[in-house]
C-alpha cells in the first residue's frame, strides 16, 4: 500500500507522464463530445426526414387515379437510427448507407444508392472514441512506459529504488501498473460520462470498458516484453513505435488485402447492369416472357395474367419483380460475400489487437458490417411488404381510395 | 568550409551505415513500400482495364439496342465509369470512398454507386495502405528514429565541445547534419521516382509527376528541419524523442481528423435525402413531361400554336409530346444542376477549410497536395460528376430531338391502342448514335498544379520557418 502511495506521488510529480495522461483525457473527452454531437445531428436529420416523408405522402395523396401511379410516385423512407452507444464508434455509418428512400420499383436499382458525406472526410475518418482508444492510446502508453528504468537512473533514484524494494521487479511492476490503469481511467471516465448522457445501458459500457482495458493490457505486455531486452530508451521507444506500426497499420492492411483476394465479390456494377437489361428487355419481349417467371414466384396471381394492352401497370410491376429475380443470384452472392469477408476479417483480426478492439467497439455500437447488412435486410423485407400491398390492388384493378391507402405499410426502425 | 560541412555529413552517414537500428528501419521501409506500391499498382491497373472495358461495353450495348420509341431509350439509360488516372498508383485518393460508376437516365441525376469502402473487409481505421500514406506516415517516423540524436547525441557524448573547438561553427555543424538527413530522404524518394516514371510511361504528364515528387521532397525536408531543430534545442535524447513523437502524433493522427470534425461542424452539409426532398418540391413545379396535357405545359402549347400559326396540336409540324419532353428535361436539369452545384460548392468549401489545417500539420498539407497532383482529389470527382451530367443531358436531348422531329404526333398518342400501333412508334436504331463516347481524364497538369498551390505554399512556409529556426538556434549552439 505504501508502495502504491509512493508511486502515485512520483507520478504526480512526473510532468512528462502527466502531459501524456492529460492528452489522453483531453482527446477522449473531445472524441466523446464529437460522437454525441454526431449522433444527435443524425437523430435530428432523421426526425426531419420522417416529418418531410410524412408531408410528402400527404401532398401525393389523392393526386393519382390508379395504383400503378401511386406505386410509381410514392417514395418510402427507410432508416437505421443510431444506437445509444453509436457515439463511441462511428464505424460503417461513415461509408455505408443508413437511410434510403425506396419505392415499389425493382429494388436492386435502388438499394445500392448511397447518401454519403464529403468523400474527403470519409477518406480521412472521424475522431471518435474508438479511434482514440484503439490507435492513440497504445502510442500514449508506449510514451508513458518506454523509459521507466532509464528515467529513474537519469534522476539518480534507480539504485535507491532497487535497494528499498522488496523484490527487484516490483517497483517497475507497480509503476507500470499504475500508469496503465491511469491511462485506462483517462479513457473510460469520459466514455462513461458520455454513456450516461446518451443513456447507454450499463452492460454495453461495461463490455466496452473491458475491451479498452484488455487492449491497454496487451500494450502493457508488449512494453514489458521490450523492456527485457534492456535497450536504451530511444531504441526502446523506436522498437515500440515499430510494434505499434506493425499491429495497428501493417497487419490490418495485410489482413484487408488477403481477405479481399481470398473472398472475391461479384462486381457491383454488374448487378445493376444485369438488372437494368432485364427490366428494359421486358418492354420488347412478349408479355408472357415476363408473366411466366413472375407467376412462378407468385402463383396466387396466375388467373390475372392477361395483358391486353401494350402497356398495363400490373405487367410493368411484374417485370420490375422479374428484373430483381434475374439478378437474385448475383445479389445474393454480393451479400454472402460481404458476410464471409466480414467473418474472415473477424477471425484474422485476432492478429491485430487494435483491429480486434475496433471491431468489438463497433459491434457494441451497432455500427459494424453486421448492422449495415441487417439494415439492408430490413429494407428488403419492407420492400417485399410494399409489393405484397400493391399486387392485389394492381392485379384486381381496384380503385384508389384513401381507406385503402391508410393500410399501406410503414417502415419502422427497430433499434430505438 | 564546405569541406568540413560535407565531412560532417559523411561522418553521420558512416555512423548510420554501421547502426543496426538505422539499417533495419530502412530495410523495413523499403519492404513495406515495395509491397504496398506493387499491390496498389496491380490493383489500380486492373481497375483501369476493367473500367475501360466496362465503359466500352456500356457504349456498345446502348448502340446495339433495337428500334424503339425514343423515350424508351431515355429510360434505358447509359453507364459511365471513372477510369483512375495513372498517378493513382501513388495516391488512389478518394477513389475507394466514392462510387466509380453512374447510371445515366432521363429526368434523374443518380449518385455514383459501389464505392469499394462499402464492401471492403472491415478491419479498423488505417485499413487501406498505399504508397502516399506510407510516405506521409512512415517517412517522418523513420527520419525521427535515425535523426533525433543528430546534435543532442554529440552533446550527450561530450563530443560537441571538441567539435566546436576545431574551427567548426554551429551553423556548419547543423548544415552538415541537415545534409546528412536530407540525403536519407533522397534515398527514400527513389521508389517514388520509379512509380512516377511508370505513370509517365502510361501517359501521365511530366509536370504533374515532377510536382508530386517535389511535394513529397518538400514534405520530407520539413521533417528534416524539424528534427534538426529539436535535436539542437534539447538537452537529452529522450526528451527530444518525446517532443518529436508528440509532434508526429498530433500531426499525423489528431490534426487531420480534427480538421474533418471542425470543417463539418463549421459548414454542416445537408444529407442527400433531405436535399432531394427539397428539390422534389421544386421539380413538382416544373411538372412531369410524361403528361403533355398537364397544366404546366399549356403555355408552351399556346406559344407553339401561335408560332406555327395552327389551331390544333395535331397540326403542328413537330411532335408536341417530344417538345414537352425536351423542354421539360431542360427545366428539370436546370433545377437538378442548381442543387448539384450547391452541394459540390459546399463540399469544395469544406475541403478547402479542412485543407487550411495544413498550417497546423504538414501531413494535412501534403495529403491534400498529393491528391490534387495525382488527380484523385475531390475536385476530380466533381469533374467526373459534371462530365457525366453533360453526357446524360446530351444523349437525352438528342433522343428527345428524334422524338420531336421524326415521330409523328398522331402515331405517338395512339401508341397504347394495340401492339401494331405500338410498333409504329419505334424509331430506327441508327438514331442511338446521339450518344457521345465517354473517356474520363483528370484535369490537365497545370490545373492540378494550381489546385496544389495552397498545399505547396503551406509546406514551403513550414520549411522556411523551421529552417530559419534551425539557423537561429545553430548560431547560438554552445557545448
Measured between CA atoms, how close is B350 to chain A, in angstroms? 8
B-interface mutation test, from A118, A138, A258, A308, most B Cβ less than 10 A away: A118
Residue B292 confidence (pLDDT) = 82
Report residue B126's pLDDT band, with 50, 70 and 90 as the boundaries. Answer: low
Contacts of B61 in chain A (CB under 8 A): 277
Measured between CA atoms, how close is A1 to chain B, in angstroms? 31
Select the residue of B75, B124, B347 nearest A252 (Cβ to Cβ): B124
Buried b (16+ CB within 10 A) or exposed e, A186-206: bbbebbbebbeebebeeebbe
Domain boundaries, chain B: 2-475
Give the helix/strand (H/E) hosting A101: strand A99-102
Contacts of A28 in chain B (CB under 8 A): none
C-alpha dihedral, B437 to B443 to B445 to B450, nearest 10°: 170
- Taking CA–CA distances from A345, the nearest residue in chain B reads B121
What does the block give as the cell for B202? 502510361
First to last CA, chain B: 20
pLDDT digit string, tens, across residues B44-72: 888 888 888 889 988 998 999 888 899 98
The closest alpha carbon to B196, from B373, B418, B366, belongs to B373
Torsions phi, psi of B376, nearest 5? -130, 30
- Taking CA–CA distances from A97, the nearest residue in chain B reads B118
Distance from chain centroid for Cα B403? 39
Residue B333 confidence (pLDDT) = 95
Q: At what angle do helices A233-244 and B237-248 cross, to 10 degrees?
A: 20
DSSP β-bridge partners for residue A78: A100
CB pairs under 8 A between A and B: 245
> What are the distances in angstroms from CA A53 to CA A25, A60, A74?
41, 11, 10
Residue A415 confidence (pLDDT) = 42
DSSP β-bridge partners for residue B103: B79
pLDDT digit string, tens, across residues B74-120: 988 898 998 889 999 899 888 888 888 888 998 988 888 777 766 77
Measured between CA atoms, how close is A345 to chain B, in angstroms? 6
What does the block give as the cell for A193? 460520462
Torsions phi, psi of A2, nearest 5? -65, -35
B-interface mutation test, from A87, A123, A154, most B Cβ less than 10 A away: A123
Select the residue of A112, A234, A309 nearest B241 (Cβ to Cβ): A234
Residues B407 and B413: their CA atoms lie apart, in Å, by 10
Largest CA-CA distance found in chain A, in angstroms, rounded: 101
> What are the distances in angstroms from CA A66 to CA A317, A396, B21?
13, 12, 77
- Taking CA–CA distances from B276, the nearest residue in chain A reads A101
Contacts of A147 in chain B (CB under 8 A): 238
Q: Cell 432531394 sits at which residue?
A: B276
What does the block give as the cell for A56? 410528402
Residues B338 and B231: their CA atoms lie apart, in Å, by 54
pLDDT digit string, tens, across residues B318-377: 899 999 999 999 999 999 999 999 999 999 999 999 999 999 999 999 999 999 999 999
Say whether A362 and B81 touch across the interface (CB within 8 A).
no
Residues B249 and B144: their CA atoms lie apart, in Å, by 12
Measured between CA atoms, how close is B296 to chain A, in angstroms? 15
Mean of the per-residue pLDDT values for chain B? 89
pLDDT digit string, tens, across residues B213-270: 999 999 999 999 999 999 999 988 888 888 998 999 999 999 999 999 999 989 988 8
As separate numbers, helices (DSSP H) first and strands (DSSP E) second, chain B gives 20, 3
Residues A410 and A97: their CA atoms lie apart, in Å, by 19
DSSP β-bridge partners for residue A100: A78
Buried b (16+ CB within 10 A) or exposed e, B222-254: bbbbbbbbbbbbbebbbebbbbbbbbbbbbbbb
Q: Cell 515532377 sits at which residue?
A: B210
Residue B200 confidence (pLDDT) = 93
Residues 6+ apart with CB under 8 A from A152: A158, A161
The closest alpha carbon to A133, from A416, A366, A364, A369, belongs to A364
Residues B182 and B218: their CA atoms lie apart, in Å, by 10
Average pLDDT over residues B157-165: 84
CA angle B93, B46, A256 (to 5 degrees): 60
DSSP B193-257: HHHHHHHHHTT--HHHHHHHHHHHHHHHHHHHHHHHHHHHH-SSHHHHHHHHHHHHIIIIIIHHH
What does the block give as the cell for B253? 493522427
Q: Judge residue B130's burial from the number of C-beta atoms within 10 Å of its C-beta, 0-12 exposed, 13-18 middle, 19 or more buried.
A: buried
Residues A149 and A280: their CA atoms lie apart, in Å, by 74
Q: Is B235 on the interface with A (CB under 8 A)?
A: no
Contacts of B79 in chain A (CB under 8 A): 269, 272-273
Higher-pLDDT residue of B37 and A247 is: A247
Residues 6+ apart with CB under 8 A from B390: none
Say whether A116 and B81 touch across the interface (CB within 8 A).
no
Give the helix/strand (H/E) hosting B102: strand B101-105
A-interface mutation test, from B25, B46, B121, B345, most A Cβ less than 10 A away: B121
Measured between CA atoms, how close is A101 to chain B, in angstroms? 7
Residues B343 and B348: their CA atoms lie apart, in Å, by 9
DSSP B113-139: B--HHHHS----TT----HHHIIIIIH
User: How many C-beta atoms lie closer than 10 Å to residue A217's C-beta?
Assistant: 15
Q: Cell 463549421 sits at which residue?
A: B266
Residues A217 and A334: their CA atoms lie apart, in Å, by 38
The closest alpha carbon to B209, from B187, B192, B189, belongs to B192
The parts of chain A modelled with pLDDT lower than 50 are 415-416
Select the residue of A119, A134, A338 nearest B97 (Cβ to Cβ): A119
**Residue A35, SS3?**
helix
Contact of A41 with B268, CB cutoff 8 Å: yes
Say whether B242 and A334 touch across the interface (CB within 8 A).
no
What does the block give as the cell for A18? 502527466
pLDDT digit string, tens, across residues B385-431: 999 999 999 999 999 999 988 888 888 888 878 878 888 888 888 88
**Residue A218 DSSP label:** H
Residues A299 and A321: their CA atoms lie apart, in Å, by 14
Q: Is B417 on the interface with A (CB under 8 A)?
A: yes
User: How many C-beta atoms lie closer than 10 Å to residue B135's C-beta?
Assistant: 25
pLDDT digit string, tens, across residues B272-304: 888 888 888 888 888 888 888 888 888 888 888
- Helices marked H in A349-407 — which ranges? 353-365, 369-395, 402-406
Residue B339 confidence (pLDDT) = 94
A-interface mutation test, from B152, B273, B281, most A Cβ less than 10 A away: B273
Residue B99 confidence (pLDDT) = 81
Contact of B259 with A34, CB cutoff 8 Å: no
Q: Is B56 on the interface with A (CB under 8 A)?
A: no
Residues B125 and A131: their CA atoms lie apart, in Å, by 7
Residues in chain B, overall count: 479
Amino acid at each position: 500500500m505504501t508502495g502504491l502511495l509512493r508511486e502515485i506521488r512520483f507520478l504526480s510529480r512526473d510532468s512528462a507522464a502527466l502531459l501524456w495522461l492529460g492528452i489522453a483525457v483531453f482527446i477522449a473527452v473531445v472524441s466523446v463530445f464529437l460522437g454525441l454531437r454526431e449522433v444527435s445531428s443524425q437523430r435530428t436529420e432523421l426526425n426531419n426526414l420522417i416529418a418531410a416523408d410524412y408531408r410528402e405522402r400527404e401532398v401525393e395523396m389523392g393526386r393519382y387515379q390508379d395504383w400503378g401511379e401511386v406505386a410509381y410516385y410514392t417514395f418510402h423512407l427507410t432508416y437505421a437510427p443510431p444506437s445509444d452507444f453509436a457515439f463511441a464508434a462511428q464505424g460503417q455509418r461513415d461509408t455505408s448507407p443508413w437511410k434510403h428512400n425506396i419505392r415499389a420499383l425493382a429494388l436492386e436499382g435502388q438499394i445500392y444508392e448511397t447518401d454519403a458525406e464529403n468523400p474527403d472526410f470519409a477518406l480521412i475518418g472521424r475522431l471518435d472514441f474508438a479511434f482514440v482508444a484503439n490507435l492513440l492510446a497504445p502510442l500514449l502508453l508506449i510514451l508513458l512506459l518506454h523509459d521507466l528504468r532509464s528515467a529513474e537512473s537519469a534522476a539518480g533514484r534507480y539504485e535507491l529504488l532497487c535497494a528499498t524494494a522488496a523484490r527487484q521487479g516490483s517497483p517497475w511492476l507497480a509503476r507500470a501498473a499504475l500508469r496503465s490503469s491511469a491511462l485506462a481511467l483517462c479513457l473510460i471516465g469520459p466514455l462513461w460520462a458520455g454513456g450516461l448522457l446518451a443513456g447507454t445501458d450499463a452492460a454495453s459500457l461495461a463490455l466496452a470498458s473491458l475491451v479498452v482495458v484488455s487492449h491497454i493490457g496487451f500494450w502493457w505486455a508488449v512494453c514489458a516484453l521490450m523492456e527485457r531486452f534492456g535497450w536504451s530508451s530511444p531504441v526502446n521507444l523506436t522498437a515500440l513505435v515499430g510494434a505499434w506500426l506493425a499491429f495497428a497499420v501493417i497487419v490490418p492492411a495485410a489482413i484487408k488485402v488477403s481477405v479481399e483476394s481470398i473472398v472475391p465479390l461479384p462486381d457491383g456494377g454488374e448487378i445493376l447492369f444485369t438488372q437494368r437489361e432485364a427490366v428494359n428487355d421486358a418492354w420488347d419481349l412478349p408479355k408472357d416472357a415476363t408473366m411466366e417467371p413472375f407467376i412462378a414466384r407468385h402463383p396466387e396471381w396466375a388467373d390475372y395474367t392477361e395483358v391486353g394492352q401494350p402497356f398495363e401497370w400490373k405487367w410493368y410491376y411484374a417485370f420490375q419483380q422479374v428484373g430483381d429475380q434475374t439478378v437474385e443470384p448475383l445479389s445474393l452472392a454480393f451479400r454472402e460475400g460481404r458476410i464471409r469477408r466480414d467473418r474472415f476479417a473477424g477471425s484474422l483480426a485476432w492478429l491485430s489487437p487494435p483491429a480486434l478492439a475496433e471491431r468489438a467497439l463497433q459491434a457494441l455500437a451497432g455500427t459494424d458490417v453486421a448492422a449495415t447488412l441487417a439494415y439492408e435486410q430490413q429494407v428488403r423485407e419492407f420492400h417485399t411488404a410494399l409489393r405484397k400491398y400493391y399486387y392485389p390492388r394492381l392485379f384486381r384493378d381496384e380503385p384508389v381510395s384513401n381507406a385503402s391507402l391508410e393500410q399501406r405499410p410503414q417502415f419502422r426502425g427497430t433499434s430505438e | 568550409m564546405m569541406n568540413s560541412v560535407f565531412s560532417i555529413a559523411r561522418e553521420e552517414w558512416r555512423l548510420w551505415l554501421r547502426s543496426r537500428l538505422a539499417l533495419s528501419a530502412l530495410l523495413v521501409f523499403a519492404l513495406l513500400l515495395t509491397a504496398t506500391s506493387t499491390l496498389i499498382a496491380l490493383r489500380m491497373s486492373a481497375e483501369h482495364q476493367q473500367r475501360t472495358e466496362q465503359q466500352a461495353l456500356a457504349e456498345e450495348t446502348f448502340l446495339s439496342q433495337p428500334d424503339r420509341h425514343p423515350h424508351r431509350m431515355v429510360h434505358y439509360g447509359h453507364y459511365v465509369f471513372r477510369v483512375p488516372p495513372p498517378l493513382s498508383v501513388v495516391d488512389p485518393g478518394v477513389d475507394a470512398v466514392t462510387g466509380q460508376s453512374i447510371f445515366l437516365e432521363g429526368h434523374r441525376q443518380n449518385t455514383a454507386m459501389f464505392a469499394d469502402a462499402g464492401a471492403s473487409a472491415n478491419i479498423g481505421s488505417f485499413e487501406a495502405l498505399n504508397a502516399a500514406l506510407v510516405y506521409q506516415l512512415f517517412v517522418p517516423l523513420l527520419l525521427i528514429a535515425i535523426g533525433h540524436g543528430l546534435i543532442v547525441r554529440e552533446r550527450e557524448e561530450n563530443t560537441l565541445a571538441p567539435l566546436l573547438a576545431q574551427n567548426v561553427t554551429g551553423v556548419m555543424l547543423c548544415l552538415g547534419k541537415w545534409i546528412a538527413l536530407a540525403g536519407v530522404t533522397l534515398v527514400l524518394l527513389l521508389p517514388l521516382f520509379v512509380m512516377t516514371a511508370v505513370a509517365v510511361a502510361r501517359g501521365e504528364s511530366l509536370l504533374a509527376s515532377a510536382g508530386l515528387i517535389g511535394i513529397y521532397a518538400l514534405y520530407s525536408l520539413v521533417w528534416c528541419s524539424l528534427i534538426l531543430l529539436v535535436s539542437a534545442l534539447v538537452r537529452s535524447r529522450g526528451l527530444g524523442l518525446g517532443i518529436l513523437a508528440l509532434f508526429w502524433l498530433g500531426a499525423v493522427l489528431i490534426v487531420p481528423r480534427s480538421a474533418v470534425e471542425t470543417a463539418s461542424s463549421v459548414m454542416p452539409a445537408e444529407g442527400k435525402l433531405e436535399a432531394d426532398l427539397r428539390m422534389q418540391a421544386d421539380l413538382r413545379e416544373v411538372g412531369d413531361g410524361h403528361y403533355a396535357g398537364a397544366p404546366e405545359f399549356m403555355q408552351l402549347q399556346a406559344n407553339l400554336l401561335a408560332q406555327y400559326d395552327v389551331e390544333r396540336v395535331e397540326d403542328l409540324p413537330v411532335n408536341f409530346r417530344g417538345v414537352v419532353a425536351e423542354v421539360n428535361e431542360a427545366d428539370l436539369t436546370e433545377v437538378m444542376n442548381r442543387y448539384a452545384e450547391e452541394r459540390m460548392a459546399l463540399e469544395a468549401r469544406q475541403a478547402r477549410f479542412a485543407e487550411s489545417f495544413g498550417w497546423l500539420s504538414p501531413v494535412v498539407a501534403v495529403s491534400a497536395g498529393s491528391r490534387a497532383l495525382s488527380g484523385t482529389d475531390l475536385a476530380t470527382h466533381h469533374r467526373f460528376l459534371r462530365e457525366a451530367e453533360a453526357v446524360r443531358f446530351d444523349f437525352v436531348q438528342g433522343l428527345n430531338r428524334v422524338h420531336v422531329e421524326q415521330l409523328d404526333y398522331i402515331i405517338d398518342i395512339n401508341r397504347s391502342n394495340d401492339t401494331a400501333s405500338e410498333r409504329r412508334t419505334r424509331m430506327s436504331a441508327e438514331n442511338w448514335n446521339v450518344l457521345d463516347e465517354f473517356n474520363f481524364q483528370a484535369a490537365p497538369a497545370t490545373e492540378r498544379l494550381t489546385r496544389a498551390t495552397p498545399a505547396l505554399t503551406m509546406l514551403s512556409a513550414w520549411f522556411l520557418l523551421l529552417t530559419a529556426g534551425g539557423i537561429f538556434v545553430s548560431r547560438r549552439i554552445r557545448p
